[in-house]
Structure formats: C-alpha cells, structure tokens
C-alpha cells in the first residue's frame, strides 16, 4: 500500500472548450458588444481562432469602414487572453501587451488567430495574428498573461 497524500496528487488542469469560451465572451458587456465569436479551438496545438465583425462604432472615421487601432488592439488582447485561458480554464489578467499594425483593416471582418507560446505556472504568452477576410495579415500582437 502506498503512502500517497491527497496533496501529492496533481489535478489535471481544467480547460475551456469553444462553448465555455463563448460563454465568457458573452458574459462580458464590453466583449459581447464587439461581437467576437469562437470559430476554432485546438488544445493540442494551443491555438484559438475567433472572428470579429466590423461595426460602425469601430470605424476610425465615420463612413470610412476603416478599423480604428483601439478596437483592433482590444481584439488582439482578448483573443490572446482566451488562447492562454482555454488551457487553464478561465480568463486571465493581462500583464504586458504590444501590437504592430501592418496594413489598414478596411471594410472587413477580422479573423484572429492566437497561438500559445509559453504556458508557465505564473505567466502565459500568446502571439496573435489578425487577418482580413481575404487572408491578408493586418496586425500582429504579443501579450503576457498571469496564469496564477
């Protein structure tokens, strides 16, 4: 008979599936307003894909259909957060965040793909690529999230 204590047994980390992530998104008034929807979850690849529709409220200038950089950054941070969060079972606070805008996002929904680069005990890091509907890369981001 072994002397294994309950404290010695490590529970498998809880993860979020697409429905769980979508429930978190829909439960936040800010995120729900954005219209973000989960399109793909791959725990093995640690990759999450979401779609965000263009809204007039996201325009840089009224009538231009050009995305303002602020909503783009918000989307990058949110999708990166849930890419790491899907691996630990919850949304996480952002520790650091950066974005590089490569070309304007005009008259398009955003296709956002986040890949977990590091999943540590205290910090998780995600890289995020933002594409237009034609597949052109519009922006890239990287963020660190507190996993503890």
User: At 108, which CATH number?
Assistant: 3.10.129.10
Q: Are strands 123-131 and 110-119 parallel, antiparallel or unpaired?
A: antiparallel
Burial class (CB in 10 A: 0-12, 13-18, 19+), 68: middle
Q: How many domains does the chain have?
A: 1
Instruction: Let me know if residue 104 belongs to a domain.
Output: yes
**DSSP summary character for residue 146:** E
Instruction: Let me know if residue 5 belongs to a domain.
Output: no
Task: For residue 28, give every residue at least 6 positions away whose Cβ sits within 8 Å of its Cβ, in sequence order, or none.
Answer: none
Instruction: Let me know if residue 115 belongs to a domain.
Output: yes
**DSSP summary character for residue 134:** T
Residues 21 and 92: beta-carbon distance below 8 Å: no
pLDDT on residue 8 = 46
pLDDT on residue 3 = 52
**Token duo for residue 29:** 């008034």
pLDDT on residue 7 = 46
pLDDT on residue 67 = 98
Q: What is the pLDDT along the chain (148 residues), one digit of tens a residue?
A: 445 444 444 555 589 999 999 999 999 999 999 999 999 999 999 999 999 999 999 999 999 999 999 999 999 999 999 999 999 999 999 999 999 999 999 999 999 999 999 999 999 999 999 999 999 999 999 999 999 9
pTM of the model: 0.90
């Amino acid at each position: 008979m072994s002397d294994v204590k309950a404290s010695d047994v490590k529970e498998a980390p809880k993860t979020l599936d697409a429905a769980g992530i979508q429930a978190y998104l829909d439960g936040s008034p800010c995120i729900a307003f954005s219209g973000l929807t989960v399109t793909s979850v791959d725990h093995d690849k640690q990759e999450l894909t979401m779609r965000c529709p263009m809204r007039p409220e996201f325009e840089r200038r009224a009538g231009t259909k050009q995305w303002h950089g602020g909503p783009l950054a918000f989307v990058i941070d949110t999708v990166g957060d849930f890419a790491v969060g899907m691996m630990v079972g919850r949304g996480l606070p952002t520790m650091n965040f950066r974005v590089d805008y490569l070309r304007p996002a005009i008259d398009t929904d955003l296709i956002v793909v986040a890949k977990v680069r590091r999943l540590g005990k205290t910090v998780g890091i995600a890289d995020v690529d933002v594409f237009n509907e034609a597949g052109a890369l519009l922006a890239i981001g990287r963020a660190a999230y507190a996993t503890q």
